[in-house]
Chain A
Amino acid sequence: MSGVAVHLDGLTRRFGALTALDDLDLDVAPGELLALLGPSGCGKTTALRLLGGFDRPDAGRVMVGGADVTDMPANRRDMGMVFQAYSLFPNMDARKNVQFGLRMRKMGAAQRNARAEEVLALVGLADHAGHYPYQLSGGQQQRVALARALAIEPSVLLLDEPLSALDARVRHQLRAEIRAVQQRLGITTLFVTHDQAEALSIADRVGVMHDGHLEQLGTPEEVYDRPATPFVAEFVGTMNRVAGRVLPGGRLEVLGSSLNAIGGDGQQQGSMVEVLVRPEALEAVADEDGHATVTERTFLGSLTRIRVTLDDGADLLIDAATRRGLPEPGARVGVRVTSEDALVSGPSTP
C-alpha cells in the first residue's frame, strides 16, 4: 500500500444560504496524515465527504493521484472510510464486514479469507473474526471498521471523528494504533476531528478550519506555538487574553515583561492591545505585594491549573507542574510571562 497525493482545488459547497465550504485549497502529500480540526459546522466533514465522493461540490475540483475524481461516484473512488457512528453492517460478523469490500472487488473466497485474517490481526482482533457487531465493544467495532477500510488497500483513508464515541482510555489507545498502522502502511490519510489534542497528537500537519475557511495549515507545533489567527490560538489549546502595551522594535510589554510581538502590525507605539498568552507561558509566584489573588486551584495530574484574578479584575489561567508549595486559593501572587513571544489579538477593548 502506498500513498497518493490529494489536492482539493477551490472546493465550495453551499446548503441553501449557508456556505459550508468556501473555496478550500488543500494539498495532502503522499503518505501524510493530515488532520482537519475545527468546531461543529466549520466545514471539515463537508470537505471529507466531498473527497470521499458522498457529496458533490458546487465549485472546485478533487484530484487524487493527479486524476480528477470530482464527478466519480463514491463506490469507484477507492477510498476507505471510518465513520464517527458505528458503521459495521449488523447482519455480518467481523470477518464478513472486512470481506465486504473485497467481495465488491470480485476477489476469490480464499484470498478474501486470508486478507480478512491479515487485517483483523493488524488491528488486534484476529480472535474476534466470528463476532457480530453487537458482540463487540465500541473500540472493537471501530477497530473492525478500520480493518474493513484498510482491507481494500485504498488509495486514501478517510477518518471522520472515528474516536469521538469512545471513552478516554480506549480513545488514546486506538489513536496510537491508527497512527502506527497508518505509518506502517504509508497511506495518505485525512482525519477529521474537533478534538485539538487528538489532532495535535496524531497528525503530520493540522488544518484548522473556521466558517468554511482554512484558517491555518501547519505542523502541530506551528499551529500550537505560532497560531496564525486569534481563532486558531483560542481553539487550539487554552488561551488567556491580557492587556499589553506596544513598545518600539516590535515588542510588547505584558504583565511587566518585554516580549516579541506576533501580529498586531500597524499598532501605534504606546497604544494598548489585547494579547493572547497560553496558561503554560505564565507563572504565579507567591508574593504578598503581588498584583493578583489565587481564586481556584485544580489538580489535573502532572499539571495543576491555577486561576488568578488580577487587581484590575481580569481572570487568568496558569498551568504549573504539580509540586508542593503551589499557591493556595486566597494567596496573593505575582504573575509573569515566561515565553518570549505573544500574539496580538487586536486593539485593547475597555
Chain B
Amino acid sequence: MWRVTILVLAAIYFLGPLAASLRFSLVQSNGKDGFGNYSRVLHDGALANALWTSLEIAAITTGILLVLMLPTVVWVRLRLPRLALLIETVSVLPIVIPPIVMGAGLAELQLHAGSAIDSALFASPISALTPFYVILALPFAYRSLDVGVRAIDLRTLVDAARSLGASWFTLITRVILPNVRTAVLTAASLAIALVLAEVVIAGTLLYDTYPVELVNQGQQDAGIAVALSVLSLAITWLLLFGISFLGNRAGPTRVGRLL
C-alpha cells in the first residue's frame, strides 16, 4: 500500500507539471487549441541553426573528451594509482569555478585579443566554446570512465593483450573500449547534456547556441517558451533512451550488463 501511495505521489509530482506544460503549449496565440507553437518552433530557421551548432559542438566536445580521458584514466590506473585521488580532486576544479567566471574571462580575452587569436579562436562558436566545454565536462567524463575502468580487471587485460602483440592503440580501441562501452556512453551523454544546457558562457560571448536561443525565444512568447521546454525534454529523453539502448547492446559481457 505504501509503495502504491509513494508511486502515485511521485507520479503526480513529476508528471503534473509536465502535463500542465504540455497543455499550455497547445494553447495557440488565438486562444484555440492546436500545434501552432510547435509549428513556429520547428519552422524557425535561427533555432534550427542554433541546434545544429550545439550538436556539432557536442559531438566534437565528446570526441575530444573521450580521446583525452580514456587513455588518461587507463594510464592513471595502471601506472599512477597513487595519484588517482589527486587527479580526481584536480578534475573537480571546473565544477568549483562558476561558469560566469570563465565566461567573463573569455569576454575579456575576446575584447583585448589580437586579430590572430580573434580569428583563430573566436571566429566561430565551435572553436570558441568547444575547448571550454571540454574542461567543463571533464569531471563528469573522468568519473564515468574511472568507474568503468575500475569494473574490469584492467592490468590482466592489458598484459594479456600486450603479450599477444597489441599496440597501445589497439589495446585501447579493441580491448578496453568495448569493455567500458557503457561508461563511455554515460560520459558522452553527460557531455552532450552539458553542451545542450550551457547558457552562461555562450550567452556572455554572444554566440547563438541552442540553449541561448531557447532563453531568447522564451523571453518573447510564453507559449513558444513552454513548447521549447517540452521539445527539449523530449530530445533529452530520446537521447538518454538511445544511449541506454546502445548500452544494453554493449556486447555480451557481464561487466557491460552490470553497469
Q: Any chain A CB within 8 A of the CB of B254?
A: yes
Residue of chain A at shortest CB distance from B175: A89
- The CA of A151 and the CA of B253, in the complex, are separated in Å by 23
Q: Are A134 and B163 in contact (CB under 8 A)?
A: no
Q: Are A83 and B252 in contact (CB under 8 A)?
A: no
Q: Which of A52, A79, A91, A104 contacts B170 (CB 8 A)?
A: A104
Tally of contact residues, B, Cβ under 8 A: 24
Please indicate the chain B residues that have their CB under 8 angstroms from the CB of A145 in the complex.
Answer: 160
Q: Any chain A CB within 8 A of the CB of B179?
A: yes
- The CA of A276 and the CA of B167, in the complex, are separated in Å by 52
Q: Which of B153, B156, B162, B178 contacts A74 (CB 8 A)?
A: B162
Residue of chain B at shortest CB distance from A154: B163
Please indicate the chain A residues that have their CB under 8 angstroms from the CB of B170 in the complex.
Answer: 104
Residue of chain A at shortest CB distance from B162: A74
Q: Any chain B CB within 8 A of the CB of A148?
A: yes
Please indicate the chain A residues that have their CB under 8 angstroms from the CB of B167 in the complex.
Answer: 75
Q: Are A152 and B178 in contact (CB under 8 A)?
A: no
- The CA of A88 and the CA of B164, in the complex, are separated in Å by 12
Q: Are B165 and A90 in contact (CB under 8 A)?
A: no
- The CA of A104 and the CA of B175, in the complex, are separated in Å by 12
Q: Are B179 and A101 in contact (CB under 8 A)?
A: no
Interface flags, A94-106, vs B, CB<8A=1, else 0: 0000001100110
Please indicate the chain B residues that have their CB under 8 angstroms from the CB of A85 in the complex.
Answer: 153, 156
Please indicate the chain B residues that have their CB under 8 angstroms from the CB of A75 in the complex.
Answer: 162-167
Q: Are B153 and A152 in contact (CB under 8 A)?
A: no
Q: Any chain B CB within 8 A of the CB of A43?
A: no
Q: Any chain B CB within 8 A of the CB of A231?
A: no
Q: Any chain A CB within 8 A of the CB of B34?
A: no
- The CA of A78 and the CA of B162, in the complex, are separated in Å by 10
Q: Are A76 and B159 in contact (CB under 8 A)?
A: no
- The CA of A78 and the CA of B164, in the complex, are separated in Å by 8
Q: Any chain B CB within 8 A of the CB of A40?
A: no
State whether A87 and B156 are in contact (beta carbons under 8 Å apart), knowing that A132-B252, A132-B253, A134-B254 are contacts in the complex.
Answer: yes
Q: Are A83 and B161 in contact (CB under 8 A)?
A: no
Q: Are B160 and A81 in contact (CB under 8 A)?
A: yes
- The CA of A306 and the CA of B164, in the complex, are separated in Å by 49
Which of B's residues lie within 8 Å of A, judged by CB?
152-153, 156-157, 159-167, 170, 174-175, 178-179, 251-256
| CB-defined A-B contacts under 8 Å, sample of 28 | A52-B163, A53-B162, A73-B162, A74-B159, A74-B162, A74-B163, A75-B167, A80-B163, A80-B164, A85-B153, A86-B156, A87-B157, A87-B159, A88-B160, A89-B160, A90-B152, A90-B179, A91-B175, A100-B166, A104-B164, A104-B165, A105-B165, A133-B253, A134-B254, A145-B160, A148-B164, A149-B164, A158-B163
Q: Which 8 A-B pairs give the minimum distances between C-beta atoms? A: A101-B164, A104-B165, A90-B253, A91-B178, A74-B162, A87-B160, A81-B163, A91-B251
Q: A148-B160, A158-B163 are in contact. List 19 more A-B contacts (CB 8 A).
A: A52-B163, A54-B159, A73-B162, A75-B163, A75-B164, A75-B167, A80-B163, A80-B164, A83-B160, A85-B156, A87-B153, A89-B178, A90-B254, A91-B175, A91-B252, A91-B256, A132-B252, A132-B253, A152-B164
